[in-house]
Amino acid sequence: MHLDDEHARLGRRPISSRAGIAWISGLDRISTFVLKATGDVAMALSDRRLTLDQVEALLTAATRISRRKIEASLGPLCDQGYLTADDAPGNPEIVLHLTEKGLVTYCRHLVLNFGRIEWEIFRQVCQDAGIDVCELARRTGQAELLVEHVLREAARHGHLRLDGMGQYIFVRDVSPQLRRWVSGAA
As a whole-number percent, the residues of the chain with pLDDT over 90 amount to 69
Return the amino acid letter for 72: A
Whether domain 114-183 has CATH 1.20.120.140: the reply is no
Provide the CA 58 distance to its chain's centre, in angstroms. 16
What is the arrangement of strands in the sheet containing 83-86, beginning at the earlier edge strand? 49-51, 95-98, 83-86
Candidates 38, 144, 43, 134; CA nearest to 95 is 38
Return the amino acid letter for 52: L
CB 167 within 8 A of CB 147: no
Provide the CA 19 distance to its chain's centre, in angstroms. 12
CATH class of 5-110: mainly alpha
Mode of pairing for the β-strands spanning 49-51 and 83-86: unpaired
Mean pLDDT over 33-51 rounds to 95
Give the separation between CA 177 and CA 159, rounded to whole angstroms.
Answer: 7
Give the separation between CA 183 and CA 185, rounded to whole angstroms.
Answer: 6
* pTM of the shown model: 0.82
Q: pLDDT tens-digit profile of 51-72?
A: 999 999 999 888 889 999 999 9
Residue 64 has a pLDDT of 84
Residue 19 has a pLDDT of 44
| Intervals of CATH 1.10.10.10 along the chain | 5-110, 114-183
